[in-house]
Chain A
Amino acid sequence: MWDQEIRAMASTHAILASTVFVATVAPKVLLRGFSVYGTHLLWMYCMAGAVGVVNVSVFWLLGISPPTKKHTVGYKLSRLVRSCLYLFLSCLFFHTVVVLYGAPLIESAVETFSLAVLLTSLTTLRCLCVLGPNVQAWIRVFSRHGAMSVWDTSLQITTGTTVIGAWLGAFPIPLDWDRPWQVWPVSCSMGSVIGFVSGLVAAPTWIHYHRKQLTYKCK
């Protein structure tokens, strides 16, 4: 059972990682004048969209999401609306945090918001897929004994690495090297994507090597 779950997760993560790769390479082939630095906003939205779509479809196909109690259309609709609302709120939250961290307030608000959208699609969307629109559960997951399945642990790891990647991405901004990737928010968004991919790689590996120690409470 362990092997099966880990294998399922590893393949899901492989699909996600290849999505990240495709979302960078495909527009370069298809669109003229596309480059990661030059048309950074486009790249960010490509990435956010691709990761979001793949995430949702994979988790929907696998049926990871918590089983719903009711099957009425109205209930499903309300869940959908709540999910959208949470996604939007999470964008606003990330935007605020990034501004408080020192991003310009007015000048490049579009760039900042795009970064927030990217971060949302890399972190909050996954939370939503795994745990459903339940903030209490989200908060619970990020505690030492909060993980209840392999997916929760992988969620902990990828979210952590994504946020830390974005945080580390801010480091080179003040340096006077005059490189194109030092422009706001290129380094942060690239940092978060790199963090996300490394989290995707790290999560199955870590779980594989610690599977003896991991014990999950039954729900």
Chain B
Amino acid sequence: MKRLVILSLLLWMCAVFYVGIYLFVGGFLLVRLEVNRTSTCEDVLLPAGEQGDFCPAKPRFRRAVLLIIDALRFDFARFDHANTAPRPYENKLPVFEETVSSQPSHSRLYPFRADPPTTTMQRIKGFTTGSLPTFIDVGNNFASSAILEDNLIHQLGQLGKRVVFMGDDTWESLFPKKFYRSLPFPSFNVKDLHTVDNGILQHLYSTVVGDDWDVLVAHFLGVDHCGHRFGPDHPAMADKLTQMDGVIRSVMERLQNDTLLVVMGDHGMTDTGDHGGESQKETDAALFLYSPSPLFSGPPSKSEPQVVPQTDLVPTLALQLGVPIPYSSVGQVLLPLFPPHGQMKGALEGLSQVEALWINVKQVNRFLETYSSMAKDIPPESLSKLQEQFSHVSTEYLTAVKNGLSPSPELVVSLQSYLTSVRETCRATWARFNPLKMAAGLAILLFACVLCFILSELSCLLVRESSLLKAPVVAALSIGFCVAAGQLFARGYVEVAWCLAATAIVSELLVLWRVHRVKASTALGNGAKAPKRAGWLSLHRLVTPALLVLLLRGASLLSDSYVIAEGRVVTFLIFSLGLYVPIHLNWDGLLLPANHDPLKPVGLLPAPALSPSAIRKESCTLLACLGLLVGSLYLSLSFHNCREEQGSCQPSPFLFPLSRLQNSQLKNLHYILSLASIGLWTYLLRRWLRHYGNLNSSGGAVFTARWILPLLSICLGLNWAVGATPEDSFRSMAELLSVAQVALPRTIFSLLGLGMLLLWLDPITVFLKTRASAPARSSNLPPPRYRASTGISTQAELHHLIPQIYQRMRRNLEEDDEPGEGAEADGRPAVEAYGLGTVYSAPQLLFCGLLGMGLLLLHAEGMALSFLLLLLEMGALLHIHASSTTLSSLHGTHYGGFNVPWTPVVLWSLAATQFFHATGHLPTFPSIQWGAAFVGFPGGHTGTILPASLVTLNTFSSHILFAVGCPLLLFWPLVCEVRGNRRVGGEDGEDAVMEMRLRENPQQFSSALLQLSTRYLFIHGTQVFASVCAAAILRRHLMVWKVFAPKLMFEASGFLVTSVFLLIGITLVMRVDVAVGGWFKRLIPEASR
């Protein structure tokens, strides 16, 4: 067996996939670390700050009103007198234009530029923290969406300002319990234009007039929802904007002199009403500032900013209201709102421009220092440049202050330019997709999928080429190093992503070329006919229902509705493909025994390899297993969890841990059900092993199956019982219970570890029985006492004792070594091997069973039922595959070798996704079952690796089980082979049976194993590729951050886990192969003595 070739090819394939995923994700998902520090009024900002840098002076405004109109694009707010035929969204907000022209020193209208991603939640985060939120802000808690970074709302609360909020309920989840008063309204239904707005309007005016607030935030959603529903170019938009015009006017009338009014849009929208991306129509919103008292020192001058970045609102509002600027803000104060130095007149009090800028600069510099000490994602050379700029500016400012000079206008400009460059650096790091990286990742993944397919189709050729990979990988690695050296030379630092990309692409191309050469050379060897036939076959092979189903599955990942309904979609596809199996067999006339024409002479036809009754039995098995498959598919639907997008959906009652159930009768019922399923799980596994005679010997694997497996299930049952006990019911045993809560899971973990170790060390489950010498036993049956003790029926014994193999090997050996001793060879077997027919599949199955038990520990108790269904469905799929292989091998349609066709592999991998959903998981972040991290560790953890791996194991348990069990697809047709179907010939009795055939043909075994694993990888790889495509194509879609990006993350991590555990499964097969080889070597000299 070519272990090294298979493993290296698979490892290389996985590595290429990983690089592709890494590159794409690096360009698509922007990651930023959250700085969990807060500013306070007493902060002294280095260098050489005065006493209390923040809030030194009396605030300019006592109160502020923030009216946020979601998706208020800048051109909605403009008013154009020349436009006589305005579109529905134009000229509907004349209030801005009228106020700006009539009261120029009281108001301004600016374009307000948001940073991508332009989705509401990210924007709210942006204009309250002053930072640039990315898709993943790595913070303290992943589970809830509350903002933990320092933000404006927090600062206002710190200083005792009463913040009143009304509108979009996203705020309530972002700032739980931060508001003095809060009136949230549901924002989820995009088709509902009025609920939120009317809710706000009921309370807004009375609140504004009243006196129990300092900051009022009102978030209107009507415009945004109108855009999503109808698009901007629709009469409904005109009505909505006109309504908003009225609202702004009424609020302005009710304002008092000490109040600042800010009207703003959080983002814009495209012409179809969507947002999320980075086009100018999506990023440019409107910002309108107004106060009844003069706000600006004069009418708009030339130095007015053209565009106000969204982050600038935070420091401006903070300094105007007299609160510290939030710690991680990177914004810049809006200068026109501050008077120039030395022009402070009565009404315009507060900070001057230079003072405000100086505070701002110091705060930004402090944040930059903190951040760069925590994370390394800001390029070092731009950091040092910024540092230099800061020291230059600060010395200039400090000398100016020390000398009592009024700071020059140049100083203002250089302070501003420092802030701008910090912002730009952060933007480049956090808030921009990297299309080049995304494209490179896509290309690598596409190539990897194509290569995977080619490898699987040509596996029998490639297994022979032992040096297929060496040269390409070496060449590619050296090119990667060259790229690294070039980068080091040209830019002074190395960007690992591009080196990896170069390596991956070069190695892919070289391997493709090598494969082409290998194929061409074999085609030459086979004569001219081969290439033509191969070309036709490959096209014909591509359009099979199995690959069509895979295509449908990939296409379904491109639509948000299908991703939301993924669990059902996958079940539907499995069901369709499952039904296709018998229909296809019937179409080929294989399902039913052929009708014999009584008129035709029987002798002329070749005798059927299998009797009609055997065919009928096989067909019945197939249909029964199909029934089992369908049944478990249908039942598995009742274990699904619910996404928030699915309105009228109830999560499965089995998802909750038992301790949450109040009704004790129901609790008992659930507990008994779970116990029964875990018992059945153990029983079925042991039953199978016993049936094939794998429970007789005394090795490590058998010990595991005999003792550790039942012990594990008992521990699991006890653990559930302990977990489900109400806390107050057994006061006296409270301590014992708490000990048990820790000890039981840990026992299970260690038992599992022990079991796996034993399985790895001694995977052979074959029992040897040496019989009495030949003449004495030739007519004797084995003694009945012996049979009873091993639990093997006579029939099973006839089927599964494998004396022949041993006998044949012995004879070979004798012919080679001791040609003289022919007499003893006539003595027929002196040794019988029990369980040799399932020597490969028994450890594999046992490993799956153990692993399943361990993974079940990490789930809620009710999931035991679902795990049982998983086992049953696995069995059903395997039997369907085995029966269809048997039936089609009858008529010679099943071409030789042990190759596993596409249909079972596709079914197998779809079932992995199906049970991902049927074990209560969803591809969304809030649905991750965090409780799994605390199984066995109720007190929490110190590190992050252990809880992270526990949660990963919990989330991808079905992927793990199906990946480890994947080689079973190769073994099962051999395990279930029907005796009669082998050729009637001279050497029938000598032929190897069941899995020993694999040992007889190591070449075919290797190629089949390689083919199976590359096919499995290909199927998962295409799914990753499809979700990557979805994320790349739909990056402007409304649902990109809610549906597609999480789906991509889950699909990619699922692939990672799958590939790792597939490799583990393959390695186990190889381990068994080595062990079997050693066993034979040991056995034969011994017995021939």
Contact = CB atoms under 8 A, between A and B. Distances in A.
A136 to B, nearest CB: 8
A176 B564 CA distance: 10
A143 interface: yes
B561 A176 contact: yes
Interface string B549-586: 00000000001111011001101100110000001001
A144 B588 contact: yes
B759 interface: no
Given A100-B633, A102-B637, A174 B587 contact: no
B586 A142 contact: yes
A32 B1039 CA distance: 43
Given A174-B562, A174-B564, A142 B575 contact: no
B592 interface: yes
A146 B575 contact: no
A102 B572 contact: yes
B493 interface: no
B630 interface: yes
Interface residues of A, number: 16
Contact of B589 (A145, A170, A175, A176): A145
B870 to A, nearest CB: 18
A143 B630 contact: no
A143 B571 contact: no
A146 B587 CA distance: 8
Given A139-B592, A167-B576, A175 B586 contact: no
Contact of A100 (B568, B587, B630): B630
A101 interface: yes
A73 B592 CA distance: 34
Interface string A158-186: 00000000010010001110000000000
A100 B592 contact: no
A142 B633 CA distance: 26
Interface in B520-573: 559-562, 564-565, 568-569, 571-572
Interface string A106-142: 0000000000000000000000000000000001101
Contacts of A176: 560-561
Nearest to B568: A102
A142 B587 contact: yes
Contacts of B561: 174-176
Contacts of A144: 587-589
Contacts of B586: 139, 142-143
B572 A101 contact: yes
Contacts of B630: 100
Interface string A43-77: 00000000000000000000000000000000000
Nearest to A177: B561
A174 B569 contact: yes
Nearest to B592: A139
Nearest to A144: B587
B1079 interface: no
A101 B571 CA distance: 8
A140 B633 CA distance: 29
A143 B587 contact: yes
B777 to A, nearest CB: 50
Interface string B1013-1050: 00000000000000000000000000000000000000
Interface hub of A99, A101, A144, A170 (most chain B Cβ within 10 A): A101
Contacts of A139: 586, 591-592
Given A102-B571, A102-B637, A167-B576, A175 B588 contact: no
A112 B112 CA distance: 54
Contacts of A100: 575, 630, 633-634
A100 B627 CA distance: 11
A146 B562 CA distance: 38
Contacts of B589: 143-146
A170 B591 CA distance: 28
Contact of B565 (A101, A140, A174): A174
B156 to A, nearest CB: 39
A175 B559 contact: yes
A167 B583 CA distance: 15
A134 B630 CA distance: 26
Nearest to A174: B565
Contacts of A175: 559, 561-562
A35 B559 CA distance: 30
Contacts of A145: 589
A102 B591 CA distance: 27
B583 A142 contact: yes
B138 to A, nearest CB: 32
Contact of B575 (A101, A140, A143, A174): A101
Contacts of B587: 142-144
Interface string A76-109: 0000000000000000000000011110000000
Contacts of A142: 583, 586-587
Contacts of B569: 174
Contacts of B637: 102
Interface string A179-202: 000000000000000000000000
Interface in A190-217: none
A108 to B, nearest CB: 14
B567 to A, nearest CB: 10
B575 to A, nearest CB: 6
A167 B630 CA distance: 17
Nearest to B560: A176
A102 B574 CA distance: 12
A143 B590 CA distance: 9
Interface in A25-46: none
A102 B568 CA distance: 7
A175 B637 CA distance: 19
Contacts of A99: 634
A176 B646 CA distance: 11
Nearest to A141: B586
A170 B556 CA distance: 13
Contacts of B634: 99-100
Interface in B604-642: 630, 633-634, 637
Nearest to B562: A174
A56 B576 CA distance: 31
A12 B1074 CA distance: 68
Nearest to A156: B587
A202 to B, nearest CB: 18
Contacts of A102: 568, 571-572, 637
Contacts of B591: 139
Nearest to B585: A143
Nearest to B637: A102
A100 B569 CA distance: 13
B625 to A, nearest CB: 15
Contacts of A143: 586-589
Nearest to A176: B561
A104 to B, nearest CB: 11
A91 to B, nearest CB: 18
Contacts of A174: 561-562, 564-565, 568-569
A174 B568 CA distance: 10
B964 to A, nearest CB: 29
Interface in B842-870: none
Interface hub of A139, A167, A175, A176 (most chain B Cβ within 10 A): A176
B873 to A, nearest CB: 14
Interface of B: 559-562, 564-565, 568-569, 571-572, 575-576, 583, 586-589, 591-592, 630, 633-634, 637
5 tightest A-B CB contacts, nearest first: A174-B565, A143-B589, A175-B561, A174-B561, A176-B561
Given A99-B634, A102-B571, A143-B588, 16 more contacts: A100-B633, A100-B634, A101-B575, A102-B568, A102-B637, A143-B586, A144-B587, A144-B588, A145-B589, A146-B589, A167-B576, A170-B572, A174-B564, A174-B568, A174-B569, A175-B561
22 contacts: A99-B634, A100-B575, A100-B633, A100-B634, A101-B572, A101-B575, A102-B571, A102-B572, A102-B637, A139-B592, A142-B586, A143-B589, A144-B588, A145-B589, A174-B561, A174-B562, A174-B564, A174-B565, A175-B559, A175-B561, A176-B560, A176-B561
